[in-house]
Amino acid sequence: MIHERKIAGVKHLAYEKEEDFKLNHPQETIQEDWKVAEEGQWCYSDDNKIVQVLKRDYFQTKNGVKSHYIRTIIGMVRISKNAKLKGTVKDEIYRFSKKNWYGQLTQAPLNFKRKNFAKYVAYGMKPKEAYKKAFPDTKSLAHAGTRATVLLKNKTIRHQVDKEIENLMSDVGITKRYLLENTKGIVDKEDTRDNDKLRAIETLMKISGMLSADKKVDSVALIQEFTGFTREKLKAFEQGILPEAPKQLDE
């Protein structure tokens, strides 16, 4: 089997059989140890594929030590005693991690810095400023803005932001029960225009997560459902359980 990857319009190959390699590169030799192969040379990977070294270079570590690496179409690998070069063609060959930065951010677990980011966002700070504050090594606000936007796509981070907001609201006595009971009280009034108040409470409900896009609850239908609310339904809403279906308005 022959693996193929195009880079900047140039086709690069990796071979699983030596006869296929010899057929296409009769004058080329194969370096047995990929760790000593030079740029442009062909070598055996640890799972016996034949690949070409597209790049051999080094970078400086934080301690000032040179760390050498090679890049092939089956991956980019640091050269060290226990390093392995193997596998099939990689989508990402310009970094060592199997995940790119986008994948790392959108799938990353919570740590101290990400918790702080969620807290700053919950406190009302702009996402890019929250990211810059939580990750002080970030060099520019533009970079922080890009990372913050991606990080907020992480479900764990969004859940943490919601949790922090709920804690803040609870501290000032704004609970889901408070929102529901006050909304019901306003809806039950017959002689007062409550559009502005309803709008404000609806905003609070959205902030608390009760009208999140994920739940797909239409705010008007939800308010309609409050009429004649039983204690059982109120308790169900408080626990995040939605009613069966909104009541229809009489024509």
User: Per residue in 204-222, pLDDT tens?
Assistant: 666 566 555 444 334 334 4
Write down which residue in 36, 70, 98 finishes a domain. 98
Q: Do 113 and 165 belong to one domain?
A: yes
What span, in angstroms and rounded, lies between the C-alpha atoms of 45 and 28? 16
Q: Do 141 and 219 belong to one domain?
A: no
Q: Do 193 and 151 belong to one domain?
A: no
Write down which residue in 170, 187, 216 finishes a domain. 170
What span, in angstroms and rounded, lies between the C-alpha atoms of 53 and 48? 15
Strand 75-78 to 2-7 pairing: unpaired
Q: What is the DSSP code (8-state) at residue 161?
A: H
CA dihedral 136, 140, 141, 142 (to 10 degrees): -140
Q: Is the pTM of this model over 0.85?
A: no
Residues of the chain with pLDDT under 70: 92, 94-106, 180, 183, 187, 192-194, 196-197, 199-201, 203-251
251 inside domain: no
Which residues form the domain of 121?
102-170
Write down which residue in 152, 170, 188 finishes a domain. 170
Q: Do 92 and 111 belong to one domain?
A: no
Q: Do 121 and 64 belong to one domain?
A: no
